[in-house]
Structure 1
Amino acid sequence: MNRLHGAIRSYDWGSHTVLAELTGRPSPSDRPEAELWLGAHPADPARVDDAASGVSLLDVISADPHGQLGEANAERFRGRLPFLLKVLAAEEPLSLQAHPNSMQAREGFERENANGVPLDSPARNYKDDNHKPELVVALTRFEALAGFRDVRRTVVLLRALGVAELDRCAEQLAAQADSSGVRALFTQWITGDEHSVTLIGDVVEACQRYLSTERDRVAWEFAAEAQTALDLGNRYPNDPGVLISLLLNRITLEPGEGLFLAAGNLHAYLRGVAVEIMASSDNVLRGGLTPKHVDVPELLKVLDFRPGSMPVVRADGDGRDNTRVYETPEREFELTRLQLDTSRSNASSSTANLAAGDPRIVFCTAGSTILSSPGASLELSAGQSAWLPASNPAVTLAPAQQRAQVFVATIGSG
């Protein structure tokens, strides 16, 4: 096992304090820091042992894929680590975006290569040939838009805002209350003209009125949706993403709760700090709420317009008090949360065991933990991580003091 040093990614929506304080660096940082990457993606691989002079995890795995990943995993995933673990620190909303499935990613990557689009071009949609399903787990309260809301609820929301044009859109949607109706209204708004710009302004004013009017709790059921559209309209004037936000589920995750997003799911993370695990990809198709490259025709090719709720993913126990696994259908990744606590009467709550045979990234988010295996030990404080290759002996985790919270990322069993 080796200490792992993640790569910090700076984007406008990031925080000047969260990642700096988490990783023990001077705070506030000079630039907004949005993501901490813990993986072997070629765009920004983590480094093993030393942040400055250590070798990249990508090179470590490339030099010995069978020893690092395990023979079966190395064959199954072509010698690549199939997952990427991140920490997100969103101080402002992220772009309205979706990710492709495997076939779409391969086709798009090959097409852009054939067209000579440089990998580092701002206009590049496909940075690799992989899909990007993802699971986000909140470390703080985490706000998001994700998936198209049940049509009946959206019709009620549009009518509640008291805008004549929205009333017409509600009638249009009610007459075709399925994915085709959602697609038609989405396309109408996302590809809008000057008329849509006027509607955006009307919606922002309507949300302001809605929030300032005295209402009983039942009548004020869309306060979060109205506040979100108002905030987005103030931050991104005339952006069609303001209208699109009215079609999406507005979700609040409490610490420890998760949200799984399959390929094609339209979403925008709004604010909060979270651990995120995904298939190892950087393919993002944006539709708005960003100064970055937006490609609406390409986005329309990958979107899943089926309406419905987005269930919160809660970690399931496996019989041990301190171990909780976040279940997803993906074969590339699995995320487990360990709550280690020496104050509990149950002895199994104070330790956890990781069997040999699979590669793992261990990331401590609170307290500190000691990883022990025959002949070796490593202490991780909050914000620190470790790489455990498949060839590593079994590891026992215990809190260095009274409590520790640890996330363990590995390959899925699906």
Structure 2
Amino acid sequence: MELLRNAVRPYAWGSRTTIAELLGRPVPAPHPEAELWMGAHPGDPSRIDDDRSLLEVVEKDPIGQLGTECADRWGNRLPFLLKILAAEEALSMQAHPSAEQAREGYEREEAAGVPRDAKNRNYPDPTAKPELICALTEFHALAGFRDPHETVRLLRALETPGLAPYISLLEGQPDSDGLRALFTTWITLPQTSLDVLLPELLDVCVAHVKNHGEFSVECRTILELGEAHEGDAGVLAALLLNRIVLQPGEAIFLSAGNLHSYLHGTGVEILANSDNILRGGLTPKHVDVPELLRVLDFSCGKMPVLRGSHVAPRMWNYPTPAPEFELSRLEWAPDERDPVDLVCAGPQILICTVGAVRLLEADGNKVELGRGQSVWLPACNPDVQVIPVEGAPAQLFRATPGSVVSG
């Protein structure tokens, strides 16, 4: 049972206040802080002390740290990465490959001699990257293709001369194939066409918001994206995606091929330990349209919102099909002191997001976690009892491989 020191990633879309405040540092931070990484990712592994990174600890003792089953399945790697994500502005529109797509793409780029750190590299590793985001604050996102019939209603409400033929395209085939055709058309439009179509769209969105139209939330999003990413085809693509607002404790799971963009808010994100991203817009970074289209899943409909399954007293679990990870939430109200027992059947990372908790082992060893602090529990660790510090509410998130689901 070891306290972690974690890296903060300073992406431009991050917040100057959220992560700094969580960690008890001066606010505002000098630069935007987007993600707090907890895990053994080679790019920024957590540290257990000044001399050891979690990556080194796992590599030296994979069986003891991960357990035999986890080590065998994931090639002696910790399969998940846990993050606090703080978005002040929209992230790039993106999707992630399946395990088979990632493996094939990685081998193809390796054979072609594309450097792994090249800006045009799509597959720096051969693994899938499913992910789940659980809101800590109200969290706004675009995720998954909306029901085409609803999208046609939205587009009809915003119809301009330039949009009209595209609306007819989807209206004539309101299904996944129609979405693929329209998305492909928009993402490959020449810049001269975008420079005409996008200003028309933004003007009609302004009018729709002023008139308190039915799709005012969607229009405000388009206006924000259009201002931040002038001339970007991703602004058009945003019209096709579900506009989601998560309340604290609610989550969405993003499987392979799900096109998405996080817009604003703070959440706990858990994902497979991979860097594979196919971008679709809202970014100056590399966009490989043919490869994106190969990976995208054009299934459509509302995105399921996960509210957590109550699997034990004080514990809620967010089940997903992803074998790489499982996320659980533990909560206590101010007057609640009952302990929760955690079985150490595999590697775990715990982070305290509200209040403070004590972690107790049977031999008397204990660690206190305050807000923003995290701890590594290896598979060889004795089972742990978690108790909130008296007199205050407490919240803890627990990351494990997918096979550890309760207790």
Q: What TM-score, normalized to structure 1?
A: 0.94
Mapped to 1, the partners of 2:158 and 2:226 lie a distance apart of 15
1:340, 1:398 within 8 Å by CA — same for their partners in 2? no
Q: Please name the residue that 1:121 is paired with.
A: 118
Q: 1:70-89 to 2 correspondence within 5 Å? A: 70-89=67-86
Cα-to-partner distance string for 1:228-276 (whole Å, 9 max, x where unaligned): 0011111111101111010000000011100110010000000000000
SS for the counterpart of 2:393 is strand
- Find the counterpart in structure 2 of residue 204 from structure 1: 202
Aligned residues: 401
Equivalent AA in structure 2 for residue 35 of structure 1: E
User: In the alignment, which of 247, 263, 279 is matched to residue 286 of structure 1?
Assistant: 279
Pair 1:392 & 2:384 matched: no
Distance in 1 (CA, whole Å) between partners of 2:11 and 2:289 is 22
Aligned to 2:170: 173
Determine if the alignment matches structure 1 residue 265 to structure 2 residue 239. no
Match of 1:133 in 2: 130
Counterpart check, 1:96 vs 2:93: yes
Match of 1:337 in 2: 329
**8 Å contact from structure 1 (residues 39, 84) kept in 2:** yes
Per-residue CA distance 1:283-310 (angstroms, 9 max, x = gap): 1111110122222121111000111110
Structure 1's consecutive aligned runs of 4 or more residues displaced over 6 angstroms after TM superposition are: none
Please state how far the C-alpha of 1:342 moved relative to its aligned partner: 5.3
> Aligned AA for 1:283?
N
- CA-CA distance at 1:12 after TM superposition: 0.8
3-state SS of 1:165 partner: coil
Alignment-mate amino acid for residue 225 of structure 1? E
Distance in 2 between the 1:5 and 1:398 partners?
Answer: 22
Instruction: Find the counterpart in structure 2 of residue 225 from structure 1.
Output: 218
Aligned to 2:43: 43
C-alpha displacement at 1:201, in angstroms?
A: 1.1
Give the AA of the match of 2:248: P
2:52 is matched with which residue?
55
SS of 1:387's equivalent?
Answer: strand
Aligned position for 1:148: 145
Partners of 1:94 and 1:268 within 8 A in 2 = yes
Larger mean Cα displacement after TM superposition, 390-399 or 106-115 = 106-115
**Per-residue CA shift, 1:350-395, capped at 9, x if unaligned?**
3211012211000100101111102311111111100000000010
Secondary structure at 1:5's aligned position in 2? coil
For residues 152-184 of structure 1, the C-alpha deviation after alignment (integer angstroms, 9 at most, x for no partner) is 000000000131232322221111111111011
Matching residue within 379, 400, 406 for 2:368: 379
Identify the residue that residue 161 of structure 2 maps to in structure 1: 164
Classify the secondary structure of the residue corresponding to 1:197: helix
Q: How far off its partner does 1:17 sit?
A: 1.5
Encode CA deviations 1:292-341: one digit per residue, 9 max, x unaligned.
Answer: 22221211110001111101111010242x11001111111111000023
1:246 matched residue in structure 2: 239
* CA distance in structure 2 between the partners assigned to 1:35 and 1:293 by the alignment: 21
1:8 Cα shift? Answer: 1.0
Structure 1 stretches of 5 or more lacking a match? none
Paired residue secondary structure (1:245): helix
Inter-partner Cα distance in structure 2 for 1:127 and 1:376: 41
Letter in 1 for 2:201: V
How far apart are the structure 1 equivalents of 2:395 and 2:356? 8
Give the secondary structure class of the aligned counterpart of 2:283.
coil
> Which AA in structure 2 matches 1:343?
D
Deviation at 1:406, TM superposition (A): 0.1
- Given candidates 350, 356, 371, the residue that maps to 1:362 is 350
Instruction: Quote the residue 1:324 is aligned against.
Output: 316
Q: Over aligned residues, Cα RMSD in angstroms?
A: 1.4
AA aligned opposite 2:11: Y
Alignment partner, residue 16 of structure 2: 16
Q: Give the structure 1 partner of residue 182 of structure 2.
A: 185
1:32 corresponding residue in structure 2: 32
Deviates more, 1:253-262 or 1:289-298: 289-298
Q: Is the 8 A contact 2:162 2:200 kept in 1?
A: no
**Which of 194-203 and 239-248 deviates more?**
194-203
Cα distance in 2 for partners of 1:30, 1:256 equals 30
In the alignment, the residues of structure 2 paired with residue 411 and residue 398 of structure 1 have an alpha-carbon distance, to the nearest angstrom, of 23
Deviation of 1:116 after TM superposition, in Å, equals 2.7
Alpha-carbon distance, 1:22 to partner: 1.0
Contact 1:258 1:313 in 2 (8 A): yes
How far the C-alpha of 1:113 sits from its partner, in A, is: 2.4
1:305 to 293, 298, 313: 298
- Equivalent-residue separation in structure 2 for 1:100 and 1:271 (angstroms): 24
| CA–CA distance in structure 1, aligned partners of residues 329 and 65 of structure 2 | 22
Secondary structure of the corresponding residue to residue 91 of structure 2: coil
- 8 Å CA contact 1:241–1:287 kept in 2: the answer is yes
**Distance in 2, Cα, partners of 1:55 & 1:372:** 24
Deviation of 1:221 (Å): 2.3
In 2: Cα distance, 1:314 partner to 1:75 partner = 32
- C-alpha separation between the residues in 2 aligned to 1:15 and 1:342? 29
Q: TM-score, length-normalised on structure 2?
A: 0.96
